[in-house]
Structure 1
């Protein structure tokens, strides 16, 4: 994790993508930019469920992503998706090795991890 403030244009892009594509997973870069995560396995950094109302104004969405970036130092990425009236935000650690990702997921009492390459959930 970095102390860099996240780049506003990247946050605007995420805000749009969550509603047009249904969700996102992006990696945090040291310079504050966000890049799409296309490979590896996303494992939640917490068992706490984070969400905001689906119709959240952009400023509140950006503040929520910034907050997660700050309070979860092991998270090297963040994921977001809309389900019903909630926009879920999940600080995640992207792990390249599936066996390690499954192990970490079980340690964190996760129900599933997400395979970014195959775009599919892996139930634990």
Structure 2
């Protein structure tokens, strides 16, 4: 990830995707833009869980996403999803190989990874 700040309109789109559609996974580009992650397997880059109340104000949401970029510079994406009254936000690595993604997920104590091509959760 880069030191470039994410484009505000992209952050607004992520916020809307999380709250209106239930979640998102996007690749973070060096120029501060994002692109939808459509292939590969999304694996959290950490075993730490980051969540905020689902009614989080936009400014707080944007701040958390920006902090993730700073704290996890090796992550090439970010993901967010709603579960009940919580919005979970993770720095994400997109891995092409399912076996490697599953191994990393287990190593990081993840409950699941996400198959972006099939739009399916893979429980570990």
- Category of TM-score, reference length = shorter chain: over 0.9
SS of the residue 1:68 aligns to: helix
SS of the residue 1:48 aligns to: coil
Separation in 2, partners of 1:13, 1:6:
12
SS of the residue 2:6 aligns to: coil
Q: How does 1:63-102 map to 2 (within 5 A)?
A: 63-102=63-102
1:48 equivalent in structure 2:
48
Structure 1's consecutive aligned runs of 4 or more residues displaced over 6 angstroms after TM superposition are none
Separation in 1, partners of 2:104, 2:81:
22
Q: Contact between 2:42 and 2:116, CA under 8 Å: does it hold in 1?
A: yes
Unpaired segments ≥5 residues, structure 2: none
Q: Contact between 2:19 and 2:54, CA under 8 Å: does it hold in 1?
A: no
CA deviation profile, 1:32-77 (whole Å, cap 9, x unmatched): 1111111100011111110111111111100000001110112111
- Cα distance, 1:100 vs structure 2: 1.5
Separation in 1, partners of 2:112, 2:19:
23
TM-score (norm 2): 0.95
Q: Does 1:116 align with 2:116?
A: yes
TM-score (norm 1): 0.95
Separation in 2, partners of 1:98, 1:71:
25
